[in-house]
Amino acid sequence: MNDAEAQAASDTTTLGQARPGQRARITRIVAGRQLTRRLLSLGLRIGTELDVIQRRGRGVVIGRAGTRIALGGGVADKVMVTPVPRDHEGC
């Protein structure tokens, strides 16, 4: 593991813990087959970059390619993300 990979691993958190205004990349989905398929159908897969727009209780509203998606806290806690600098274009 190189230094960049080690730093990314240490910055990994759940989507439910991400701050509003933060851009993040999905690194892992810790869920069963049905939830994983549901997230895939919403366009959320490993490597996807998204913007955290709002937190509502434990839930989170994210933005991806001009679309907003609301996820409950239980789902958001199963999506692992790493922060992406705001000047990085990929979303």
**Number of compact structural domains in the chain:** 1
Return the structure tokens found at 49: 């970059």
The answer as to whether 34 is a domain residue is: yes
Q: What is the DSSP string of 44-85?
A: --TT-EEEEEEEETTEEEEEETTEEEEE-HHHHTTEEEEE--
The answer as to whether 50 is a domain residue is: yes
Give me the CATH number covering residue 8: 2.30.30.90
Phi-psi category of 37—alpha, beta or left, where left has phi over 0 and alpha has psi -120 to 50?
A: alpha
The answer as to whether 14 is a domain residue is: yes
Q: What is the mean pLDDT of the chain?
A: 87
pLDDT in tens, 19-50: 999 999 999 999 999 999 999 999 999 999 99
The answer as to whether 79 is a domain residue is: yes
**pLDDT of 7 higher than 80:** no
The answer as to whether 10 is a domain residue is: yes
- For residue 39, what are the domain limits? 3-83
